[in-house]
Amino acid sequence: MPKTIVITGASSGIGAAAARQLTRAGHDVVLVGRNPRTTAELASELGARHFVADFADLAQVRTLAEELRTAVGHIDVLANNAGGVFGDPTPTVDGFETTFQVNHLAPFLLTTRLMDVLTASRASVIQTSSVGARFFGHLDLDDVQHERDFNPQVAYGTAKLANILFTRELHRRYRDQGIAAAAFHPGVVATSFATESASVMRRLYASPLARFILSSPENGASQLVWLAEGTPPEDWTPGVYYEKKRPARRVNPQVRDAALARRLWDLSAEMLGTERGAE
Protein backbone atom coordinates (compact mmCIF):
# COMPACT_ATOMS: atom_id res chain seq x y z
CA MET A 1 0.00 0.00 0.00
CA PRO A 2 1.51 3.37 -1.01
CA LYS A 3 2.67 5.64 1.79
CA THR A 4 3.35 9.36 2.13
CA ILE A 5 7.00 9.56 3.18
CA VAL A 6 8.79 12.78 4.14
CA ILE A 7 12.59 12.55 3.86
CA THR A 8 14.89 15.29 5.16
CA GLY A 9 18.41 15.59 3.81
CA ALA A 10 16.89 14.32 0.57
CA SER A 11 18.72 16.32 -2.09
CA SER A 12 21.85 14.12 -2.18
CA GLY A 13 23.48 10.99 -0.80
CA ILE A 14 21.42 8.48 1.16
CA GLY A 15 18.32 10.67 1.19
CA ALA A 16 18.25 11.09 -2.59
CA ALA A 17 18.92 7.40 -3.17
CA ALA A 18 16.11 6.43 -0.79
CA ALA A 19 13.76 8.91 -2.45
CA ARG A 20 14.42 7.36 -5.85
CA GLN A 21 13.89 3.81 -4.58
CA LEU A 22 10.70 4.68 -2.72
CA THR A 23 9.28 6.65 -5.65
CA ARG A 24 9.95 3.72 -7.99
CA ALA A 25 8.05 1.52 -5.53
CA GLY A 26 4.99 3.75 -5.90
CA HIS A 27 5.15 5.83 -2.70
CA ASP A 28 4.38 9.54 -2.45
CA VAL A 29 7.78 10.92 -1.43
CA VAL A 30 8.09 14.47 -0.10
CA LEU A 31 11.61 15.88 -0.32
CA VAL A 32 13.23 18.25 2.16
CA GLY A 33 16.67 19.59 1.32
CA ARG A 34 19.01 22.40 2.23
CA ASN A 35 20.16 23.27 -1.29
CA PRO A 36 17.33 24.85 -3.34
CA ARG A 37 18.81 23.91 -6.73
CA THR A 38 19.61 20.23 -6.09
CA THR A 39 16.39 19.71 -4.16
CA ALA A 40 14.31 21.18 -7.01
CA GLU A 41 16.23 19.13 -9.59
CA LEU A 42 15.54 15.86 -7.78
CA ALA A 43 11.91 16.85 -7.24
CA SER A 44 11.58 17.48 -10.99
CA GLU A 45 13.19 14.13 -11.77
CA LEU A 46 10.83 12.24 -9.45
CA GLY A 47 7.71 14.36 -9.88
CA ALA A 48 7.77 14.90 -6.11
CA ARG A 49 6.74 17.72 -3.83
CA HIS A 50 9.67 19.46 -2.19
CA PHE A 51 10.54 21.96 0.54
CA VAL A 52 13.75 23.77 1.40
CA ALA A 53 15.06 24.25 4.93
CA ASP A 54 18.50 24.72 6.45
CA PHE A 55 18.61 22.89 9.80
CA ALA A 56 21.26 25.34 11.02
CA ASP A 57 18.42 27.87 11.26
CA LEU A 58 15.60 26.75 13.55
CA ALA A 59 13.24 29.41 12.21
CA GLN A 60 13.38 27.54 8.90
CA VAL A 61 12.60 24.27 10.68
CA ARG A 62 9.54 25.83 12.33
CA THR A 63 8.40 27.17 8.96
CA LEU A 64 8.97 23.76 7.40
CA ALA A 65 6.76 22.09 10.00
CA GLU A 66 3.92 24.50 9.20
CA GLU A 67 4.38 24.02 5.46
CA LEU A 68 4.26 20.24 5.82
CA ARG A 69 1.19 20.41 8.04
CA THR A 70 -0.63 22.59 5.49
CA ALA A 71 0.55 21.11 2.20
CA VAL A 72 0.97 17.43 3.09
CA GLY A 73 -1.32 16.84 6.05
CA HIS A 74 -1.16 13.06 6.36
CA ILE A 75 2.36 11.65 6.94
CA ASP A 76 2.90 7.88 7.14
CA VAL A 77 6.67 8.11 7.59
CA LEU A 78 8.94 10.93 8.73
CA ALA A 79 12.55 10.08 7.92
CA ASN A 80 14.87 12.40 9.86
CA ASN A 81 17.88 11.88 7.63
CA ALA A 82 19.51 15.34 7.48
CA GLY A 83 22.80 15.63 9.36
CA GLY A 84 26.55 15.74 9.09
CA VAL A 85 29.85 16.31 10.79
CA PHE A 86 31.21 19.85 10.79
CA GLY A 87 34.39 21.68 11.70
CA ASP A 88 35.17 24.07 14.53
CA PRO A 89 32.38 24.68 17.07
CA THR A 90 30.89 27.66 15.27
CA PRO A 91 27.50 28.62 16.72
CA THR A 92 24.44 28.71 14.49
CA VAL A 93 22.20 31.75 14.23
CA ASP A 94 20.29 30.20 17.15
CA GLY A 95 23.40 30.09 19.35
CA PHE A 96 23.82 26.30 19.43
CA GLU A 97 26.84 24.31 18.25
CA THR A 98 26.19 23.36 14.63
CA THR A 99 26.71 19.59 14.88
CA PHE A 100 24.36 19.25 17.85
CA GLN A 101 21.70 21.47 16.31
CA VAL A 102 21.66 20.02 12.80
CA ASN A 103 21.82 16.37 13.89
CA HIS A 104 19.67 16.44 17.03
CA LEU A 105 17.87 19.67 17.95
CA ALA A 106 16.47 20.38 14.48
CA PRO A 107 14.94 16.91 13.92
CA PHE A 108 13.68 16.94 17.52
CA LEU A 109 11.98 20.28 16.80
CA LEU A 110 10.54 19.15 13.48
CA THR A 111 9.17 15.92 14.95
CA THR A 112 7.59 17.54 17.99
CA ARG A 113 6.11 20.36 15.91
CA LEU A 114 4.45 17.74 13.70
CA MET A 115 3.33 15.49 16.55
CA ASP A 116 -0.38 16.11 16.04
CA VAL A 117 -0.07 15.13 12.37
CA LEU A 118 2.15 12.13 13.16
CA THR A 119 -0.12 10.74 15.86
CA ALA A 120 -3.23 11.25 13.70
CA SER A 121 -1.43 9.39 10.90
CA ARG A 122 -0.09 6.67 13.23
CA ALA A 123 3.27 7.38 11.64
CA SER A 124 6.68 5.79 11.74
CA VAL A 125 9.56 8.13 12.63
CA ILE A 126 12.91 6.93 11.31
CA GLN A 127 16.17 8.48 12.46
CA THR A 128 19.44 8.14 10.54
CA SER A 129 22.05 7.61 13.26
CA SER A 130 25.56 6.18 13.04
CA VAL A 131 27.93 3.65 14.50
CA GLY A 132 29.84 6.80 15.50
CA ALA A 133 27.50 6.89 18.50
CA ARG A 134 29.33 3.83 19.83
CA PHE A 135 32.85 4.81 18.79
CA PHE A 136 32.86 8.51 19.74
CA GLY A 137 29.66 9.44 21.57
CA HIS A 138 29.42 10.42 25.22
CA LEU A 139 26.46 12.38 26.50
CA ASP A 140 27.01 14.65 29.50
CA LEU A 141 23.81 16.59 30.10
CA ASP A 142 25.85 19.37 31.71
CA ASP A 143 27.83 19.78 28.49
CA VAL A 144 25.79 18.32 25.62
CA GLN A 145 27.55 20.55 23.08
CA HIS A 146 31.06 19.58 24.22
CA GLU A 147 32.06 23.12 25.05
CA ARG A 148 34.77 21.78 27.36
CA ASP A 149 36.27 19.11 25.08
CA PHE A 150 35.12 19.76 21.51
CA ASN A 151 36.43 17.91 18.50
CA PRO A 152 34.39 17.20 15.37
CA GLN A 153 34.12 13.43 15.60
CA VAL A 154 33.25 13.41 19.31
CA ALA A 155 30.57 16.06 18.73
CA TYR A 156 29.21 13.99 15.86
CA GLY A 157 29.23 10.76 17.87
CA THR A 158 27.38 12.41 20.72
CA ALA A 159 24.76 13.89 18.37
CA LYS A 160 24.22 10.45 16.81
CA LEU A 161 23.92 8.97 20.31
CA ALA A 162 21.29 11.63 21.01
CA ASN A 163 19.43 10.43 17.90
CA ILE A 164 19.16 6.92 19.33
CA LEU A 165 18.10 8.14 22.77
CA PHE A 166 15.52 10.43 21.14
CA THR A 167 14.15 7.44 19.21
CA ARG A 168 13.80 5.36 22.37
CA GLU A 169 12.11 8.14 24.30
CA LEU A 170 9.82 9.04 21.38
CA HIS A 171 8.66 5.43 21.34
CA ARG A 172 8.13 5.40 25.11
CA ARG A 173 6.14 8.63 25.18
CA TYR A 174 4.01 8.19 22.08
CA ARG A 175 3.65 4.47 21.33
CA ASP A 176 0.18 4.47 22.89
CA GLN A 177 -0.77 7.22 20.42
CA GLY A 178 0.31 5.17 17.42
CA ILE A 179 3.89 6.37 16.88
CA ALA A 180 6.54 3.78 15.96
CA ALA A 181 10.17 4.93 15.97
CA ALA A 182 13.48 3.38 14.99
CA ALA A 183 17.06 4.54 14.43
CA PHE A 184 19.60 2.96 12.11
CA HIS A 185 23.21 3.06 10.95
CA PRO A 186 23.31 3.19 7.12
CA GLY A 187 26.89 1.95 6.85
CA VAL A 188 29.96 3.90 5.84
CA VAL A 189 28.68 5.42 2.63
CA ALA A 190 30.41 7.28 -0.20
CA THR A 191 28.66 10.66 -0.08
CA SER A 192 29.62 14.33 0.45
CA PHE A 193 29.40 13.64 4.18
CA ALA A 194 32.18 15.29 6.28
CA THR A 195 33.26 17.69 3.51
CA GLU A 196 32.65 20.63 5.87
CA SER A 197 34.70 19.03 8.64
CA ALA A 198 38.33 19.08 9.67
CA SER A 199 37.91 15.69 11.34
CA VAL A 200 39.62 12.40 10.52
CA MET A 201 36.37 11.37 8.83
CA ARG A 202 36.93 13.97 6.11
CA ARG A 203 40.31 12.42 5.34
CA LEU A 204 38.72 8.98 5.12
CA TYR A 205 35.96 10.12 2.78
CA ALA A 206 38.44 12.02 0.56
CA SER A 207 41.00 9.21 0.51
CA PRO A 208 41.85 7.42 -2.77
CA LEU A 209 40.97 4.22 -0.92
CA ALA A 210 37.48 5.47 -0.18
CA ARG A 211 35.91 3.87 -3.24
CA PHE A 212 37.18 0.47 -2.07
CA ILE A 213 36.08 0.94 1.55
CA LEU A 214 32.82 2.87 1.33
CA SER A 215 29.41 1.58 0.38
CA SER A 216 27.27 3.19 -2.31
CA PRO A 217 24.46 5.61 -1.39
CA GLU A 218 22.02 3.07 -2.86
CA ASN A 219 23.20 0.38 -0.43
CA GLY A 220 23.15 2.88 2.44
CA ALA A 221 19.60 3.86 1.56
CA SER A 222 18.33 0.28 1.55
CA GLN A 223 17.84 0.18 5.31
CA LEU A 224 15.94 3.47 5.34
CA VAL A 225 13.74 2.07 2.56
CA TRP A 226 13.21 -1.19 4.48
CA LEU A 227 12.12 0.67 7.60
CA ALA A 228 9.93 3.11 5.66
CA GLU A 229 8.11 0.38 3.74
CA GLY A 230 7.84 -1.96 6.72
CA THR A 231 4.94 -2.33 9.11
CA PRO A 232 5.92 -2.20 12.78
CA PRO A 233 5.97 -4.33 14.84
CA GLU A 234 5.59 -7.08 12.22
CA ASP A 235 8.64 -6.10 10.14
CA TRP A 236 10.71 -4.23 12.70
CA THR A 237 10.57 -3.52 16.41
CA PRO A 238 9.86 0.07 17.50
CA GLY A 239 12.26 1.75 19.91
CA VAL A 240 15.25 -0.16 18.54
CA TYR A 241 18.53 0.89 16.89
CA TYR A 242 19.33 -1.15 13.77
CA GLU A 243 22.48 -2.08 11.89
CA LYS A 244 22.22 -4.19 8.71
CA LYS A 245 18.47 -4.59 9.22
CA ARG A 246 18.98 -6.24 12.59
CA PRO A 247 18.98 -4.83 16.12
CA ALA A 248 22.55 -3.72 16.80
CA ARG A 249 24.45 -6.25 18.90
CA ARG A 250 26.96 -3.72 20.25
CA VAL A 251 25.89 -0.26 21.31
CA ASN A 252 27.14 2.62 23.42
CA PRO A 253 26.19 1.66 27.03
CA GLN A 254 24.37 5.00 27.39
CA VAL A 255 21.82 3.80 24.81
CA ARG A 256 20.33 1.55 27.50
CA ASP A 257 19.90 4.39 30.03
CA ALA A 258 16.16 5.11 29.98
CA ALA A 259 16.49 7.89 32.57
CA LEU A 260 19.13 9.60 30.40
CA ALA A 261 16.82 9.42 27.37
CA ARG A 262 14.02 11.01 29.39
CA ARG A 263 16.27 13.77 30.70
CA LEU A 264 17.71 14.47 27.24
CA TRP A 265 14.18 14.91 25.88
CA ASP A 266 13.32 17.39 28.63
CA LEU A 267 16.61 19.26 28.17
CA SER A 268 16.10 19.47 24.41
CA ALA A 269 12.59 20.85 24.88
CA GLU A 270 13.95 23.39 27.37
CA MET A 271 16.73 24.46 24.98
CA LEU A 272 14.21 24.97 22.21
CA GLY A 273 11.54 26.56 24.39
CA THR A 274 8.98 23.94 23.37
CA GLU A 275 6.47 21.81 25.21
CA ARG A 276 7.84 18.62 26.74
CA GLY A 277 5.01 16.58 25.27
CA ALA A 278 3.65 13.33 26.65
CA GLU A 279 5.21 11.87 29.75
User: In the structure, how many helices (H) and strands (E) does the chain have?
Assistant: 12, 8
Cis peptide before 233 (omega within 30 of 0): yes
Residue 228 CA to residue 198 CA, distance in Å, equals 33
Q: Which of 156, 205, 241, 242 is catalytic?
A: 156
What are the CA-CA distances from residue 250 to residues 131, 132, 246, 262 (Å)? Answer: 9, 12, 11, 22
Residue 85 CA to residue 151 CA, distance in Å, equals 10
Is 174 in the active site?
Answer: no
The upper half-sphere exposure of residue 274, i.e. CA atoms within 13 Å in the direction of its Cβ, equals 22
| Largest CA-CA distance found in the chain, in angstroms, rounded | 49
Active-site amino acid positions: 156
